[in-house]
Structure 1
Amino acid sequence: MAINQARLWSRLHELSQFGKQASGGVTRFSFTKEERQAKDLVMTYMKEAGMTVREDAAGNVIGRKDGSDNTAPAVLIGSHIDSVPEGGIFDGPLGVLAGIEVVQAMSEAAVETVHPVEVIAFIDEEGSRFGFGMIGSRALAGTLLPEHLQQTDQNGITIAAAMQESDLHPDEINKAARYSETVKAYVELHIEQGKVLERAGQPAGIVTGIAGPLWTRWTIEGEAGHAGATPMNQRKDSLMMALQIIQFIEEETKKYTNAVATIGQISVKPGGVNVIPGETTFTLDLRDIEERDRDQIEEAITSYAQSLCADREMNIKIEELQRVAPAPCSKEIRAVMEEACLTMSLEPVFLPSGAGHDGMQFNDFCPIGMVFVRSKNGISHNPSEWSSEEDCGVGASILYETVLRLTT
């Protein structure tokens, strides 16, 4: 194993002290004192690994190891160090610290690469503070717009104002953007946040693609009425209608291998115990790594719902909240990762990512690849989030072998 597993493990726990909560979890939002402390420590690690270090206009921390040909496009290794409230210590930081470990191990072994390697700690992937995630990766990809910086946190502070408080200049955000010809590939190590690898008995796996979320809000308008005085065959019960649609959503989604559907919120009006619900609203989070499959599911459930509501003389309104394109991982990078696994006598396991990651922002920018590390019980965004030291070491080793092949 080329990487220093013990060093990686030690740094994970050292970094977790910034924003540490009594529960053992971490709360580390972007543009806060806790994040600043974490960024400073990450910069120290990067310097120890022999990288030149800078912070770009968005607040991303970037460490660079030159190659023998510095005109060649760089291979980027990235993830984030911000967290959700009471989050775990692995989600995000493992990818950043593993990237630093890859570069440090190369330096210690006197490995010379042709292509430069850059390790990036992206600002605000989670979106926990402002409800608008992947700020840093959007900025680097050139898709972060000035109007995005007007998103506010619960105290009414905009992203732009928070940046200014951190000695950044929001009017210069375009300076963080990179030209695609300067980047050869983007790779990331992350915990799985699911149980696929655990059930397969494998320490790590190769991601086939990142599912794109489609968020919609559905409102069914029926007719409120007396619960006791309205016969069943005369009702326009919006909740019963919504439940039929939700059942169809589940049945339709199950027809597709990688699709998932979640009804995260549901509410009824007027909300009385003895009143037939006149209006029901629910949200749908629909995801798949294949945009065509996701669109087919969307079309099927929309057609079914509209037809059903028309038959019952009820109104339906569907509001789109967010539509993000899925991001398939590069077949070429997946092949490199498979070769890396075989070199390490590991059985290659392929799996999709249902959760979003910074790499999604580079889908039209450069080839992307991801390695997942096994998660205990599939728990994430929780103080109980856990991956073993050995599994983290295996994942980092796959990352090392992959970057070695991409840069030499």
Structure 2
Amino acid sequence: MSTAAEVLARCAQLDRFSASSDHLERVYLSPEHAQANAAAEEWMRLVGMRTWVDAAGNQYGRVEGREPGLPALLLGSHLDTVPDAGSFDGMLGVVMAIAVAERLRPHLPELPFALEVVGFSDEEGTRFGKALLGSCAASGQWDPAWWDLTDARGTTLRQAFADFGLDPDLVGDAARRPEELVGYLEAHIEQGPYLEAADVSLGYVTTIAGARRFVLRVLGEARHAGGTPYERRKDALQAAAAAITAIETIARSAGVIATVGQIEVQPGAVNVIAGRADFSLDLRAETDAARDEAWALIHEAVEAVCAVRGTTFSWIQTHEAPSMPCAAWLTEAVVAGIRATGDANPMGLWSRAGHDGMAVGAVTDIGMLFVRCHDGISHHPAEAVREVDVAAGLDALEAAVLQLAGSRV
């Protein structure tokens, strides 16, 4: 079996650790999380790694370089999933990292750094509604306010820690120090269609999108649907619909990503004009400046729509994450790795999706390698990657590590 085929087989093995028998779901601090950690730990030990689970549930493995105790180059991704997930988002990066660590065993006496692999525990935020919990702990960004977060069953995050066998009071021990790390490299499926459209296996990431999320509210007047003429209506739903159309127009023109994924109307009766409409907005861009400029345009446009329709507009921001550029020196190594596979002109992409690197970047430099996925499908059982692309990714990641080793001699 080729290394790439073995990587795919291991991803399939991880599919067994699911909370549901008919779809893949593996959430933070669950029995399935523990099973996935145990499987990854076994594969790490086969490579000769020293293994441990940190104080936030992240699974690590480490092999020393040319001398013990050197700072580590960290490779990895995440082991948790969304509900009804595919087999590769996150998991492929962890399993590829382990395979690359095995390939690099003959080079360990030459490496000017240790090599570590991490399977982060909660990138998706499925269980408690807060993404990047594992990598936030690892990067020293844990917020004590998170202890009161609850899952769908009412279990607090603090209780889930205890149930998993972790001590909540020791979560700070998961934090890595900058001097412990050389940098972080992550291989990940693209979650977009651009590599496939260009008919190339791999790409390098320039930056991870900066995101803001909002709840927008339009207030109108609920009145009888039959008895109220159009010129007297203050229809919150019609205003919201026009606003949503304006949002897409602005986003397309500005080259940003704006998504309205939820809308709730009150009173919600078939024969009553909507008096209120609340809808979500997820706004992402390559840079924070582009994101914020788009928001200013959206805000202005929605206010104008509401003014024309006799409604009022208000909003609250529920989330903000800065963009995270990939470090030039790590990106150069990733590009060199891709070129080593025969692609003379690697494609650079900004990641529209979030990744653990957004948090890890607070403590060390990051770089990312994208692997082609079929039709850009992700967060869905139809996620698919080809063995030939995984093989190219393994070669590129290995070459990138050796390039970094050479640059630090």
Normalising by structure 2, what TM-score?
Answer: 0.94
Contact 2:65-2:114 within 8 A present in 1 as well: yes
AA in 1 matched with 2:289 = R
Quote how far apart the aligned CAs of 1:212 are.
2.3
Q: For 1:323, what is the secondary structure of its paired residue?
A: strand
The equivalent of 1:254 in structure 2 is 252
AA in 1 matched with 2:297 = A
Quote how far apart the aligned CAs of 1:112 are.
2.6
Q: Point out where structure 2 has 5 or more consecutive residues left out of the alignment.
A: none
The equivalent of 2:287 in structure 1 is 290
- Aligned pair partner of 2:42 in 44, 47, 51: 44
Residues in 1 aligned to 2:228 and 2:80: alpha-carbon distance in whole angstroms:
53
Quote how far apart the aligned CAs of 1:16 are.
2.3
Quote how far apart the aligned CAs of 1:330 are.
1.7
Quote how far apart the aligned CAs of 1:311 are.
5.1
Quote how far apart the aligned CAs of 1:151 are.
1.0
Residues in 2 aligned to 1:186 and 1:150: alpha-carbon distance in whole angstroms:
30
Contact 2:219-2:276 within 8 A present in 1 as well: yes
AA in 1 matched with 2:270 = V
- Aligned pair partner of 2:384 in 364, 386, 390: 386
Q: For 2:87, what is the secondary structure of its paired residue?
A: coil
Identity %: 37
AA in 2 matched with 1:45 = W
Residues in 2 aligned to 1:22 and 1:108: alpha-carbon distance in whole angstroms:
41
Matches within 5 A, 1:155-194: 155-194=153-192
Residues in 2 aligned to 1:396 and 1:9: alpha-carbon distance in whole angstroms:
12
Quote how far apart the aligned CAs of 1:161 are.
1.0
- Aligned pair partner of 1:35 in 26, 33, 36: 33
AA in 1 matched with 2:224 = H
AA in 1 matched with 2:298 = I
Q: For 1:225, what is the secondary structure of its paired residue?
A: coil
**Counterpart check, 1:301 vs 2:298:** yes
Count how many residue pairs are aligned between Structure 1 and Structure 2: 404
Quote how far apart the aligned CAs of 1:70 are.
4.4
The equivalent of 2:330 in structure 1 is 333
Quote how far apart the aligned CAs of 1:312 are.
4.6
The equivalent of 1:12 in structure 2 is 11
- Aligned pair partner of 1:276 in 268, 273, 278: 273
Quote how far apart the aligned CAs of 1:63 are.
0.6
Q: For 2:94, what is the secondary structure of its paired residue?
A: helix
Normalising by structure 1, what TM-score?
Answer: 0.94
Residues in 1 aligned to 2:241 and 2:8: alpha-carbon distance in whole angstroms:
47
Q: For 2:200, what is the secondary structure of its paired residue?
A: coil
**Counterpart check, 1:126 vs 2:124:** yes
Residues in 2 aligned to 1:7 and 1:308: alpha-carbon distance in whole angstroms:
55
AA in 2 matched with 1:407 = A
Residues in 2 aligned to 1:32 and 1:333: alpha-carbon distance in whole angstroms:
34
Worse-matched range after superposition: 299-308 or 187-196? 299-308
Residues in 1 aligned to 2:149 and 2:108: alpha-carbon distance in whole angstroms:
46
Q: Deviations over 1:360-381 (max 9, x none)?
A: 0023322111111111122212
The equivalent of 2:230 in structure 1 is 232
The equivalent of 2:351 in structure 1 is 353
Contact 2:215-2:280 within 8 A present in 1 as well: yes
The equivalent of 2:204 in structure 1 is 206
Contact 2:65-2:108 within 8 A present in 1 as well: no
Q: Deviations over 1:274-323 (max 9, x none)?
A: 22211111111111121000000101111222244345542211011111
Residues in 2 aligned to 1:110 and 1:179: alpha-carbon distance in whole angstroms:
23
Quote how far apart the aligned CAs of 1:69 are.
4.5
Residues in 2 aligned to 1:244 and 1:290: alpha-carbon distance in whole angstroms:
27
Residues in 2 aligned to 1:14 and 1:221: alpha-carbon distance in whole angstroms:
51
Quote how far apart the aligned CAs of 1:4 are.
2.6
Residues in 2 aligned to 1:35 and 1:76: alpha-carbon distance in whole angstroms:
21
Contact 1:106-1:112 within 8 A present in 2 as well: no
The equivalent of 1:404 in structure 2 is 402
Quote how far apart the aligned CAs of 1:108 are.
4.5
Q: For 1:350, what is the secondary structure of its paired residue?
A: strand
Q: Deviations over 1:85-140 (max 9, x none)?
A: 22111111111111111111111566631111110111111111111121110001
Worse-matched range after superposition: 358-367 or 284-293? 358-367
The equivalent of 2:320 in structure 1 is 323
The equivalent of 1:101 in structure 2 is 99
Quote how far apart the aligned CAs of 1:231 are.
2.3
AA in 2 matched with 1:315 = T
The equivalent of 1:375 in structure 2 is 373
Change (3 A) 1:196 1:111: farther
AA in 2 matched with 1:18 = F
Residues in 2 aligned to 1:277 and 1:115: alpha-carbon distance in whole angstroms:
62
Residues in 1 aligned to 2:222 and 2:94: alpha-carbon distance in whole angstroms:
54
Quote how far apart the aligned CAs of 1:160 are.
1.5
Change (3 A) 1:392 1:238: same
The equivalent of 1:343 in structure 2 is 340
Quote how far apart the aligned CAs of 1:331 are.
2.3
Q: Deviations over 1:154-207 (max 9, x none)?
A: 111112111111211011101111111222211101111121111111111111
Q: For 2:261, what is the secondary structure of its paired residue?
A: coil
AA in 1 matched with 2:301 = Y
Quote how far apart the aligned CAs of 1:67 are.
1.5
Contact 1:217-1:284 within 8 A present in 2 as well: yes
Contact 2:65-2:109 within 8 A present in 1 as well: no
